[in-house]
Each structure stands twice: as structure tokens, then as C-alpha cells.
Amino acid sequence: MTVAGAASGATSGEAFGVDIGGTGIKGAVVDTAAGTLVTERKRIPTPQPATPDAVADVVAQLVSDAGWTGPVGATFPAVIKHGVARSAANVDPTWIGTDADKVFTEAIDRLTSAGPGAARRSDVTVLNDADAAGIAEDRFGAAKGVSGVVLMLTFGTGIGSALLIDGVLVPNTELGHLELNGYDAETRAAASVRDEHGMSYRHWAKRVNAYMQHVERLFTPDLFVVGGGVSKKAEKWVPLLELNTPVEPAQLLNDAGIVGAAIAAVEWLGE
């Protein structure tokens, strides 16, 4: 979606970031020049079923509650191409083929506009959730100042990925679905697999190592950034990895998606 300029609620470099997950939807105003939240992060449980209209209503509520009238960026657990969801993970399958940019923008307009015919007050830029986290980590986190190829891998329910080359995102890489020993990689090495089977970090790290070695052979990155909740305990498994590429745990943690979405909202205007 395109925005002609920042609306009255925005100052230069500020945007509202929304991070949509399978269990919760979080949002806050972000200073995109500093990578910090300007307002307190608010969380609303993800509606079940997580249909387009139901999720859009929550996004609109977060924006309205903040009194925000400028650009909005939103992460989404799917492949997003030109604003349209091409897959759906942990949300309702009716999202596939839905113009997420349009659905969110219209929902916000309905809730925050003065009435029929009122000027549009917000426009929404939607991107893949791992891509948003990768942008944030590249700009303000573990990959700040690193040139060349940076690969962020998020270990959670599945495995998300973000590929950046000199700070430029290559979107929708979906490297969690690479084949690993005849299996979809995330079915073997996601953090949820460790939890489900009660694996020790050492046992799970062997699977992660096999996966990351495969990714390393394919992309020869200059840096791996590992995210997801399990990155908070990086000391238990990252030292067990045997890779040629340096590995750093993500730094922005729960704020990464919100910050990355807000950056996209400001920097992708008009694209």
C-alpha cells in the first residue's frame, strides 16, 4: 500500500508496529531512527479462529487505543508478496490469497476515521514475521554494522528465516522448509520439537547444527543470528554448534517484530 506522507499522529521516523502471532498480537509506536518503543507494548490474544476479519479487528483496536493516525507496519506468519498472504501458519487458512495490506487498512479506517468519506488516516504495510525481525536485528541488534550476508533464523513453533545482503532484505526465504535428512527441517529442529519430545539442549543442538550446516553450505553467510524464545538461553546450545560462521543470539527479543514492522512502514512507503 502507498502513503502520500505521514499523517497528523506521526512525526518523522515514527510508525506503529504490530507483531501478529498465533497466540498474541502486540503493538506499539516505534521511533524507527532509534529502534525503540515510544509507547508501552500492548498485547491482545489472537482470536480463534484467526480469520482475516477477526485479526484485522484486533489490529485496528491496537492502533485506535494508541490514538495513532500515521503509517502502520504489521508482521504476519506467512509468505507475503505485494501485501497478499500466499500461505498461513498458525492462523486460519482463509488468509491464503487475502490482501492483508488492504484488510488491515480498511479495518483501521472503519474504527478511526471521522465517518464516511473521511480522508484515510493510516495505511498498512505487511511483511513476513521473520523478515521483520531480521530487519530489526540488522539495524539495531546483533547484526548491526555487519556487512555481507546475514541470515537470521528464528526457532519457535517452526523455523523462520530472514536473509539480508548489506542490509537489504531478500524477502520470504522460508528456509525452515529445506529438506533435512528426508524431512522438512522445522519438523526436526524447531524449538517446539525439543519441547514436545523433552530433548536436552545437547540432543536438540545436534539437530540444529545439522540444519545450520546445511544452510551454511548453501549461502556461506557472514553471520548467523538466532532468534525465537530459545535465544534467551543461547548459552545452553549455541556453544555446542560446529559452524564456520559466527553465531549471535538476537538482541531485540520480543520487540524485534514490532520494530521491524515499523521500519518497513516508514521505509517502504510508495513501493
pLDDT on residue 121:
53
pLDDT on residue 12:
59
**Are both 32 and 122 inside the same structural domain?**
yes
Please, which residues bridge with residue 142 across strands?
none
| Range 144-171 burial, b when 16+ CB lie within 10 A, else e | eebeebbbbbbbbbbbbbbbbeeeebeb
**Are both 223 and 163 inside the same structural domain?**
yes
CATH of the domain at 263: 3.30.420.40
**Are both 112 and 175 inside the same structural domain?**
no
User: Which among 161, 145, 130 has a CA at the least distance from the CA of 256?
Assistant: 130
**Are both 25 and 124 inside the same structural domain?**
yes
User: Which residues span the domain enclosing 66?
Assistant: 14-130+256-267
pLDDT on residue 9:
39
pLDDT on residue 113:
66
pLDDT on residue 90:
79
List, run by run, the mean pLDDT of 10-residue segments along the chain (271 residues): 33 87 95 97 96 97 94 96 92 95 94 56 87 98 98 96 97 95 95 97 98 98 96 97 98 96 86 53
**Are both 178 and 204 inside the same structural domain?**
yes
pLDDT on residue 219:
98
pLDDT on residue 268:
84
pLDDT on residue 5:
32
**Are both 120 and 215 inside the same structural domain?**
no
**Are both 26 and 103 inside the same structural domain?**
yes
The answer to whether 174 and 161 have CB atoms below 8 angstroms apart is yes
